[in-house]
Structure formats: C-alpha cells, structure tokens
C-alpha cells in the first residue's frame, strides 16, 4: 500500500466515523422539539434570548479580565522556573506586571471603568 492509498483509507475512515456519530446521535435523540425551560435558574423560563446583545460598557471590563486572565496563565509556569532562573525571572515578571498596570491605569484614565 503506497502513501496515497493509506491517506485515502484514513480519510474514508474519518468520514465513516463522523457519519456514524451523526447517525447515532439522530437515533438516540429523545425529542427534536426545543425545551420549554432551560437549565439556567433551576428550569425557569429565561427572561431574554441567549444571543441577546450586551451593553457596550461590558467590553472594556471583559478586555481587562482577559488581560489579567492571561497574566495568571503566564504566572503559573513562572512559579515553577523562578527558583532555577533566579533574580532575572523576578525582574521579568515585575516588568510584565508593570506593563499590565500601565494598561489598567490608561483604561482608568480614559474612563473605561466608569459605569455611568
């Protein structure tokens, strides 16, 4: 079996697996009608649509949250290697935190954290 035949067999196997999963899902489906009450708020009816629009003031807060979320993603591996790298790692982390602080202070100065 040459390389093209092996690739063709692999693609056919992948397509067959996807078709089998879709067929199994269609056979195992309990109902195709939408639910009257969702899992949110203990099954009560939702007050708004799930794809409703959010006010624009939430987006800067979301960006700041994501910045600090990325900070934590970088800090967890840093804690593992800080003892091996020494003072250089500490200086680099404080430079990174300082850069994030400058971003928050800029957002605060521009009024991105004001609610009204």
Q: 91-112 as b/e, with b when 16 or more CB fall inside 10 Å?
A: eebeeeeeeeeeeeeebeeeee
- DSSP structure class, residue 41: G
Helix 87-109 / helix 58-85 crossing angle, nearest 10 deg: 170
The reported pLDDT for the residue numbered 52 is 73
The reported pLDDT for the residue numbered 116 is 65
Q: What is the pLDDT of residues 30-71, one digit of tens each?
A: 766 665 555 666 666 667 776 777 777 788 778 888 888 888
Q: Is-contact 67 27, C-beta < 8 A?
A: no
Q: Which long-range contacts (CB under 8 A, 24 or more apart) does 51-58 make?
A: 57/115
pTM above 0.75, yes or no: no
């Amino acid at each position: 079996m040459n390389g093209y035949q092996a690739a063709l067999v692999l693609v056919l196997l992948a397509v067959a697996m996807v078709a089998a999963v879709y067929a199994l899902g269609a056979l195992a489906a309990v109902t195709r009608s939408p639910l009257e009450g969702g899992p949110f708020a203990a099954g009560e009816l939702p007050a708004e649509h799930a794809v409703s629009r959010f006010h624009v003031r939430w987006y800067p807060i979301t960006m700041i949250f994501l910045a600090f979320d990325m900070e934590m993603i970088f800090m967890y591996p840093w804690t593992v290697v800080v003892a091996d790298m020494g003072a250089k790692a500490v200086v680099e982390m404080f430079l990174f935190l300082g850069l994030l602080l400058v971003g928050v202070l800029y957002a605060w100065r521009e009024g991105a954290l004001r609610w009204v």
